[in-house]
Amino acid sequence: MNRIKFTLEWDKLKDPQFTTIRSWNTEKEVYYRSCIGQEFSILLAKNYWDRYARKIGRAILKGVTVVEPPRLTAESLSRDVTFNGKIQQEWYDKLIAMPKALLLEFENCTGLLEALK
């Protein structure tokens, strides 16, 4: 099963569609492109290496785009790093510092099964 980890339960994770920006390298790009159309477990982790991350949802990867974060709109960047209605400046600054990144587009499936009951 594919997994995508977050260290905070970002506001965007409640939306029907959401994006997330990840650092770029060739291997990551090849991996994510090969997973378009597949389901991912959304995990809440203490950090990237957390082996006991908690599953908080699931989503389908719909698209992968290579971007230059400094060229993205402030609105796009802000949406990616908003937690409890406030922009997390540390994360915003990390994104802006990336010369190249992957913009992953997901369709959120969380709650879908409950809605069908």
pLDDT of residue 46: 87
The per-residue pLDDT for range 59-100, each reduced to its tens digit, is 999 999 999 999 999 999 999 999 999 999 999 999 999 999
Average pLDDT over residues 48-53: 83
At 62 the three-state DSSP class reads: strand
- The residue ranges of every structural domain in the chain are 2-66+100-116
